[in-house]
Amino acid sequence: MDLLLTLDYDGVTPLWRQIYSQLRERIVAGQLEGNMRVPSSRALAHALGVSRTVVLAAYDQLMAEGYLHSRPQAGLYVVPGLMQFAAPQAAAQPTPAPREPAHTLIDFRPGLPALEHVPARRWGQLAHAVCRDASPRDWGYHGPEGHSAVRRSLQAYLLRVRGVRCQPEQIVMTAGAAQAFVLVAQACLAPGAVALLEDPMTAEIRALYAEVGARCVGVPVDANGLDVARLPGGLTPRLVHVTPSHQFPVGGVLPIGRRLALLDYARATGALVVEDDYDSEVRYEGAPIPALQGLDPERVIYIGTLSKMLAPALRLGYAVLPWPLVAAVRARKRVLDLHSPSILARFIDEGHLDRHLAAVKRVYRKRRDALCAALRQHAPQASIGGASTGLHLVARWPEHIFDDQLVARLAANGVQVHPVARHALDAAAHTGTLIFGYGHLAPETITEGIVRLVQALH
């Protein structure tokens, strides 16, 4: 048998690999048929003008992959049945990338921080230092709760800044707060369990509870957050989900009286309280209000994130758990992705997080003030709520209904708005209210956005 191979003797691909590839292609294409004997290594080496070692390397690889097999005393043969059908062409259509908003569209989407103020250089320096100083063990697998140094730093930080009372062992590091809610839903809720939820609340989190089969019951909120007087009697909820520091999306701060009433209700019904504390570090009026968790650490699951304060791309979230839940949530985290990576500890311990918080708070205050001023000037009939904390506020127009049609008309005028009704079980109660995320927008952009909004409303 003559094997007319074409070798590139000066190429970057090793000769043995060229021989291997071409033989393989011919076997797969059916040009070298099953049970056909291939030339001896000596003969092929001679024919190709290469050393025998080169041919042997190619043959060894083809044997290892099952293309050739050797018959004792008889040489090497092509394994039969390898002729391959042409693989179906991959569909040429990638799924379309999410459409970029048009260049000029001003998007008041809530939940985006001021990305241009991320302490990128500092974070990079620390990442470098942490990698340099890590022990080999640090690079290996960790427990599902995450690196112990990170949890120790976070425990001290949360106590100092948020009044959260826990041991580092009660913390589970998560891939953003999003994963923390998944863990809580999957570890704590059985199908049919009742989950009491603020109405309105973030639609994505409600979907997580619904997905595990929970019966989701809405409790209305007002300008002070959850209306505890309307917590339902005659139910034994498994959990109550609240955003006490800054109700999302309506914006209220839950007063201490309601906090205590909520905890009383939870104790009486045996419910857990899930405290979603997504942006409370940025509080403009007065000092941050301590977390609900500090009032009853054995009743409250505290969930936080550094996506708003530091950067979403880092995917740093955490859950602080009552002791009886620690094992179940850790087990669930292990199933979902073993554990999360993190270099957070030194960033906290060396004071960078505090300094960063102080710096961005000034940035956010200016943006909030610009938004409030623009609303007061151009839309005096709108009432503003939830502006004391965080990166968004709400404004309510008594005379408008922000349905899909109106939202589209506004977008056509260059401003993207976000109706509260989209997050509400009882949508009719919120038809005139918009959420304005301002953390990611410069003051002049904010003003321009409100001008466009008001023009289009008229």
Residues 266-285 that bind a second copy (CB under 8 A): 285
Among positions 90-149, residues that touch a second copy (CB under 8 A) are 90-91, 93-95, 97-98, 112-113, 115-116, 118, 120-121, 123-125, 127-132, 134, 136-143, 147
Inter-residue contact 339 to 183 (CB < 8 Å): no
Say whether 274 sits in a helix, a strand or coil: strand
Q: Residue 392: beta bridge partners?
A: 437
Among positions 355-394, residues that touch a second copy (CB under 8 A) are 388
Member of 110, 176, 249, 437 binding a second copy (CB under 8 A): 176
Which DSSP helix (H) or strand (E) runs through 71?
strand 68-71
Distances (CA, A) of 121 to 58, 97, 124: 49, 30, 5
Closest CA to 290 of 342, 260, 350, 245: 245
- Toward a second copy, which CB reaches closer, 326 or 453? 326
229 touches a second copy by CB under 8 A: no
Q: Output the smallest distance, CB 64 to a second copy, in A.
A: 5
- Toward a second copy, which CB reaches closer, 245 or 447? 245
Member of 50, 196, 314, 374 binding a second copy (CB under 8 A): 314
Member of 315, 356, 367, 423 binding a second copy (CB under 8 A): 315
57 touches a second copy by CB under 8 A: yes
Member of 253, 344, 394, 450 binding a second copy (CB under 8 A): 253
88 touches a second copy by CB under 8 A: yes
Ramachandran assignment for 386, one of left (phi > 0), alpha (psi -120 to 50 degrees), beta (any other): left
Closest CA to 281 of 394, 358, 347, 224: 358
70 touches a second copy by CB under 8 A: no
341 touches a second copy by CB under 8 A: yes
Inter-residue contact 414 to 404 (CB < 8 Å): no
Size of the site for a second copy (CB under 8 A): 102
How is 392-457 classified by DSSP, letter by letter? EEEEE-TT----HHHHHHHHHTTEE-EEGGGG-SSGGGGTTEEEEE-TTS-HHHHHHHHHHHHHHH
411 touches a second copy by CB under 8 A: no
Q: Output the smallest distance, CB 191 to a second copy, in A.
A: 13
Among positions 286-305, residues that touch a second copy (CB under 8 A) are 286-287, 289, 295-298
Straight-line distance from the first to the last Cα atom of the chain, in angstroms, rounded to the nearest whole number: 86
179 touches a second copy by CB under 8 A: yes
156 touches a second copy by CB under 8 A: no
